[in-house]
Amino acid sequence: MDEFDASLSAARMRDAESSLTGLRERFSVPEDTVYMDGNSLGVHGQDAEAALERALTQWKEYGIEGWTQADPPWFEYGERLGDRLADVVGAKPDECVAANSTTVNIHALVGTFLDAANGTEVVVNELDFPTDHYAIRSQLRARHLDPDEHLVIVESDDGRIIETDAIADAVTDDTAIVFMPSVLYRSGQLLDVEAITDIAHEHDAFAGFDLAHSVGVVDHDLHFDGVDFAVWCSYKYLNAGPGAIGGLYVHEDHFDRSPAMAGWWGNADGTQFDLAPEFDPARGAAAFQIGTVPVFAAAPLFGTLDVTEAAGVDSLRERSVELTRYLVSLVDARLPECEIGTPREAERRGGHVAVEHPDAGKLSRALRDRGVVVDFRPPNVVRVAPSPYYVGFDDIWHAVDEVRAILDADAHHAYGEGDEQVT
Ligand SMILES: Cc1ncc(COP(=O)(O)O)c(C=O)c1O
């Protein structure tokens, strides 16, 4: 048994002993596939399917009465899911709601907090997922603030990492909002939510976060940290399916703020059907709902939250850290042609690892051809996400072994011709 076999059997033993091992059986990883793309789209699971089936059956049985007669009533989906999401992100029940999509929630909350702020600038970073900047720029424009002047972009020294000190240097008394991701989508760096919130507050600015790459896999304490607002999706680590409903959090101190993008679904329940011309906002995060809840894009989340709750976010995070640690150690040992673009300290790492290689696009495609689903983020990153819900140490071993085989083979033959599609 060589050194790598030994590390694999140790990892297998940890797998067998883990209280989360049974989780995998609740998911349907596509056949003959090692699925390491759960930070882009989580896999199908029986809990999601059953919850969606239930909603469909209730539509069949109740028709329009489902709004009040279904279990749970469709009318209450946003708030009911919000109560449960609050546990996942460390908030009070009324501080969360399931609604809209991540991008729409950025529009809604950045707009609202720009209206409430003393400053006029929004501080973001150059490694953000682009939709965040598109939305913020348009909210600035809507307030006649030139985005080229009022969007302050913190730069990265190495194209991978955003230093907390660099954020601190960019925040001034002109700052309205510091809006950052919890985890950078490309490198997988986990930012310090509490420290960034403190920096914003020292300048009387608001702190908002995009939790797309951490919700369900990293434990958060949004209320305790004093975060003002946050947004996320549920189709990545929460496994609620393609196009599943988004979520948002607003600290209770801001329950009196007037939503910048009001809609009747954010009206107080008691008066919603008065259909009055004036908006009467619900109390709490529920006020930031806009239009009718997309029932079939929300129903699967009832099922997948059962899974997250049963496992516990703390345990999922613990296992995720072990999985990524194992992945990093195997890349170090077996793939000297590759570099790790993710911080090595567990507390600075989210749920995925950036494996860098000059031919990352082609490598990513070759891996998919061999049944290892990862994705490519230009210019040189293969993102590998060992979701703790359904990926084991064996899978990681196999994935790294496939990379080794691809790199060892004739490069032209193994990679094939043509450019990689970015997905
Ligand atoms: C950080 C981040 N924000 C937002 C989005 C997308 O938002 P939406 O769900 O509105 O498409 C993504 C998509 O991967 C993302 O990675």
Lowest mean pLDDT among 22-31, 73-82, 363-372: 22-31
Q: Are residues 296 and 316 in the same domain?
A: no
Task: Tell me how far the alpha carbon of residue 312 lies from the centroid of ligand 1, in angstroms.
Answer: 24
pLDDT band at residue 366 using 50, 70 and 90 as cut-offs: very high
Q: Are residues 278 and 347 in the same domain?
A: no
pLDDT, average across residues 409-420: 53
Ligand 1 atom, smallest distance to 128 CA: 1
Q: Are residues 150 and 200 in the same domain?
A: yes
Contact between residue 229 and residue 250 where contact means Cβ atoms under 8 Å apart? yes
> HSE on the CB side for 294, CA within 13 Å?
15
pLDDT in tens, 250-279: 999 999 999 999 999 999 988 888 888 999
CA 222 to chain centre: 15
pLDDT at 408: 94
Q: Are residues 333 and 212 in the same domain?
A: no
Lowest mean pLDDT among 12-16, 219-223, 285-289: 12-16
Indicate if 383 belongs to the active site: yes
> Residue 413: is its pLDDT beyond 70?
no
pLDDT, average across residues 372-390: 96
3-class secondary structure per residue, the chain: CCHHHHHHHHHHHHHHHCCCHHHHHHECCCCCCEECECCCCCCCEHHHHHHHHHHHHHHHHHHHHHHHHCCCCHHHHHHHHHHHHHHHHCCCHHHEEECCCHHHHHHHHHHHHHHHCCCCEEEEECCCCHHHHHHHHHHHHHCCCCHHHHEEEECCCCCCCCCHHHHHHHCCCCEEEEEEECECCCCCEECCHHHHHHHHHHCCCEEEEECCCCCCCCCCCHHHHCCCEEEECCCCCCCCCCCCCCEEEECHHHCCCCCCCCCHHHECHHHHCCCCCCCCECCCHHHHCCCCCCHHHHHHHHHHHHHHHHHCHHHHHHHHHHHHHHHHHHHHHHCCCCEECCCCCHHHECCCEEEECCCHHHHHHHHHHCCEECEEECCCEEEEECCCCCCCHHHHHHHHHHHHHHHHCCHHHHHCCCCCCCC
Lowest mean pLDDT among 56-70, 184-198, 405-419: 405-419
pLDDT at 274: 85
- Residue 129: Cβ within 10 Å count: 16
Indicate if 362 belongs to the active site: no
CA–CA distance, 215 with 210 (Å, rounded to integer):
9
pLDDT at 17: 67
Contact between residue 212 and residue 226 where contact means Cβ atoms under 8 Å apart? no
Which CATH number do you get for residue 296?
3.40.640.10
> Residue 417: is its pLDDT beyond 50?
no
Task: Tell me how far the alpha carbon of residue 377 lies from the centroid of ligand 1, in angstroms.
Answer: 14
Segments forming the whole domain that contains residue 342: 3-32+312-415
pLDDT at 20: 78
Of the listed 228, 365, 383, 390, which one is catalytic?
383
pLDDT in tens, 163-215: 999 999 999 999 999 999 999 999 999 999 999 999 999 999 999 999 999 99
Indicate if 377 belongs to the active site: no
Is the residue at 389 inside a domain?
yes
pLDDT at 419: 42
Q: Are residues 381 and 408 in the same domain?
A: yes
Nearest to 106 by CA among 167, 171, 39, 179: 179
Q: Are residues 347 and 399 in the same domain?
A: yes
- Pocket probe mutation, ligand 1, options 129, 376, 383, max atoms within 8 Å of Cβ: 129
Contact between residue 89 and residue 97 where contact means Cβ atoms under 8 Å apart? no
pLDDT, average across residues 399-407: 96
**Cα torsion for 222, 226, 232, 238, to the nearest 10°?**
0
Residues comprising the chain, all counted? 423
Task: Tell me how far the alpha carbon of residue 277 lies from the centroid of ligand 1, in angstroms.
Answer: 33
Q: Are residues 143 and 159 in the same domain?
A: yes
Contact between residue 325 and residue 344 where contact means Cβ atoms under 8 Å apart? no
> Residue 156: is its pLDDT beyond 60?
yes
pLDDT in tens, 28-47: 999 999 999 999 999 999 99
pLDDT at 418: 43
- Pocket probe mutation, ligand 1, options 102, 210, 290, max atoms within 8 Å of Cβ: 102
Domain count, the chain: 2
Task: Tell me how far the alpha carbon of residue 234 lies from the centroid of ligand 1, in angstroms.
Answer: 10
Last residue of a domain, one of 263, 293, 310: 310
Q: Are residues 59 and 205 in the same domain?
A: yes
CA–CA distance, 88 with 216 (Å, rounded to integer):
6
pLDDT band at residue 289 using 50, 70 and 90 as cut-offs: very high
Last residue of a domain, one of 310, 339, 369: 310
- Residue 22: Cβ within 10 Å count: 10
pLDDT at 388: 96
pLDDT at 4: 60
Is the residue at 27 inside a domain?
yes
Last residue of a domain, one of 266, 293, 310: 310
Is the residue at 39 inside a domain?
no
Mean pLDDT score across all residues of the chain: 94
Q: Are residues 254 and 351 in the same domain?
A: no
pLDDT band at residue 2 using 50, 70 and 90 as cut-offs: low
Q: Are residues 332 and 211 in the same domain?
A: no
Q: Are residues 387 and 255 in the same domain?
A: no
Is the residue at 363 inside a domain?
yes
